[in-house]
Amino acid sequence: MLRIGMLTSGGDCQALNAAMRGVVKAILNNSDEPVEIYGFEDGYKGLIYGHFRMLTGKDFTGILTVGGTILGTSRTPFKTIQDPDENGLDKVAAMKQNYYKLQLDCLVILGGNGTHKTANLLSKEGLNVITLPKTIDNDLWGTDMTFGFQSAVDIATDAIDCIHTTASSHGRVFIVEVMGHKVGWLTLNAGMASGADIILIPEIPYNIDKICKAIDARDERGARFTILAVAEGAISEEDAKLSKKDYKAKLANYKYPSVSYEIAEQIEKKTGREVRVTVPGHMQRGGSPCPYDRVFATRLGAEAGRLILKKQFGYMVGYKNREMVKVPLEDVAGKLKAIDPKSDIIKEAKLVGISFGN
């Protein structure tokens, strides 16, 4: 008997179900022994408190195109994972106990950066773990792409596309705030795909005067409007110079809903232009996965199934140079894949006239 546990952790995104389906179908179609699938509910919480349900192949039928996750998910911060819960329960010990109680041969974990830190911890504790790279931010180290990213790019791009007509009609400056606290992959790709004039990402601190200069330059060329794609983690040159402590102190007393509203106010004061802010928010994580993500997540899941059948554990299934690869969990955990400000894609964006406000 081959017993597999599965859970999805952290924020949801498109193609989680497609990835799990890929794992299960690959195992069921190629295992020489009977298979049992245990789905832990609401991420690591399910593994900690023993909330699970038995799944069969039928549970993974018809979910290729379904967004979200059939198992539910939650955030269980890595920084507190080794602290007892409110009742004094040792969370790590509880996860191990439930793993061994069910006699699992492997635990399949789908998640992003924080999820992989805990997955690596469990692997070091002796559990057989395989992970899949999930996040709309595309910021996981060790893989060129994460599933959910392309679907989110499509949605964010569509949002900015829709803004073009109203921005043009009213001759306004529009800011579209795109998800991404620490990295700007989503904002950069959606901004380029939709023809944004200014793109602000966390990796390139902005100068508000240079943003206004870019807007004025468009006005002088006869453009009626300007569109800014702004990552929610965009940061000014002044704030980038602050220590982490001082920056947190500033955010604690922040008077704006987000950085986009601060930028909007500054642009209005400096240029006299009318500015509007649009925040698509969690729409970017919702809905059906795009065709690319359906294929990509299926491939990742199938490769995870292959590794499980070969009893190769302690890896994340990644994607490098158009090939599926296995990446040691200890190499992934705690690392962030940020955009290099000197990378080709940034240079090419600048060549077509996109300003990064720096």
Please check whether residue 49 is in contact with residue 16, taking contact to mean a CB–CB distance below 8 angstroms. no
Examine the domain organization and report whether 139 and 34 are in the same domain.
yes
Examine the domain organization and report whether 6 and 134 are in the same domain.
yes
Please check whether residue 148 is in contact with residue 12, taking contact to mean a CB–CB distance below 8 angstroms. no
> Which residues, at least 6 apart from 222, have a Cβ–Cβ distance to it below 8 Å?
none
Count of domains forming the chain: 2
Examine the domain organization and report whether 202 and 101 are in the same domain.
no
Examine the domain organization and report whether 54 and 168 are in the same domain.
no
- According to the model, what pLDDT value does residue 250 have? 84
Look at residue 92 and tell me if it is in a domain.
yes
Last residue of a domain, one of 260, 285, 310: 285
Tens digits of residue pLDDT in 44-83: 999 999 999 999 999 999 999 999 999 999 999 999 999 9
Last residue of a domain, one of 285, 303, 319: 285
Look at residue 350 and tell me if it is in a domain.
no
Examine the domain organization and report whether 93 and 135 are in the same domain.
yes
- Which of 42, 105, 137, 139 does the annotation list as catalytic? 137
Look at residue 315 and tell me if it is in a domain.
yes
For the chain, give the mean pLDDT. Answer: 95
d(CA 68, CA 11): 9
Look at residue 112 and tell me if it is in a domain.
yes
> How many Cα atoms are found within 13 Å in the side-chain-facing hemisphere of 143?
31
- According to the model, what pLDDT value does residue 252 have? 85
> Which residues, at least 6 apart from 145, have a Cβ–Cβ distance to it below 8 Å?
133, 138, 296, 319
In 3D, which of 190, 226, 169, 162 has the Cα closest to residue 355?
Answer: 226
* pTM more than 0.75: yes
Split at pLDDT 50, 70, 90, the class of 93 is: very high
Examine the domain organization and report whether 132 and 27 are in the same domain.
yes
Examine the domain organization and report whether 306 and 319 are in the same domain.
yes
Look at residue 341 and tell me if it is in a domain.
no
Containing H/E element for 344?
A: helix 344-351
Q: What is the CATH number of the domain that holds 162?
A: 3.40.50.460
Look at residue 155 and tell me if it is in a domain.
yes
Examine the domain organization and report whether 175 and 303 are in the same domain.
no
**Is pLDDT of 222 > 90?**
no
Which amino acid is residue 11, in one-letter code? G
- According to the model, what pLDDT value does residue 248 have? 86
Split at pLDDT 50, 70, 90, the class of 249 is: confident
Examine the domain organization and report whether 185 and 60 are in the same domain.
no
Last residue of a domain, one of 285, 300, 317: 285
- According to the model, what pLDDT value does residue 166 have? 87
Helix axes 113-124, 91-101, angle to 10 degrees: 70
* Domain with 272 in it: 151-285
Examine the domain organization and report whether 60 and 132 are in the same domain.
yes
Examine the domain organization and report whether 186 and 245 are in the same domain.
yes
Please say if 137 is a catalytic residue: yes
Look at residue 328 and tell me if it is in a domain.
yes
- According to the model, what pLDDT value does residue 92 have? 96
Look at residue 271 and tell me if it is in a domain.
yes
DSSP 230: E
**Is pLDDT of 8 > 90?**
yes
Please check whether residue 320 is in contact with residue 146, taking contact to mean a CB–CB distance below 8 angstroms. no
**Is pLDDT of 121 > 90?**
yes
Q: What is the CATH number of the domain that holds 113?
A: 3.40.50.450
d(CA 239, CA 206): 10
Could you tell me what percent of the chain has a pLDDT over 70? 100
Examine the domain organization and report whether 323 and 228 are in the same domain.
no
Please check whether residue 179 is in contact with residue 136, taking contact to mean a CB–CB distance below 8 angstroms. yes
